[in-house]
Amino acid sequence: MSGGARRGTSPTAPPPKGWIAIRVGGQGEEQQRFLVPVGYLNHPLFVALLRAAEEEYGFHHTGAITIPCHVDHFRHVQGIIDQDTGSSSAAAGGHFHLCFRA
């Protein structure tokens, strides 16, 4: 399992209350499972990643939420979200553009 402080759970176990399981992996990269707090769902950077997933897979994609982003870049974005104090910095908004394909 990858992602944040949640460790020691089975890769197939349901996430604990207050967390969601997502899959992350760019084209040609093996997808990895991450557990992220549900609070991520309201963060603008994570919303942008969800929009990229919608564009890639469609709104009615079955299975786990899958983010079409390279794992290393997702970890970088995850670090920004974890450090974010709630301010909407224009500089932070530029970090997620690498997840989108031209």
Three-state SS string over 42-88 comes to HCHHHHHHHHHHHHHHCCCCCCCEEECCCHHHHHHHHHHHHHCCCCC
| pLDDT 10s digits, 55-101 | 888 877 777 889 999 999 999 999 999 988 444 444 444 444 445 44
Query: 2 lies in a domain?
Result: no
Query: 43 lies in a domain?
Result: yes
Judge whether residue 28 has pLDDT over 50: yes
Query: 10 lies in a domain?
Result: no
Query: 28 lies in a domain?
Result: yes
| Domains: count for the chain | 1
Query: 26 lies in a domain?
Result: yes
State which residues form the domain around 87.
Answer: 19-99
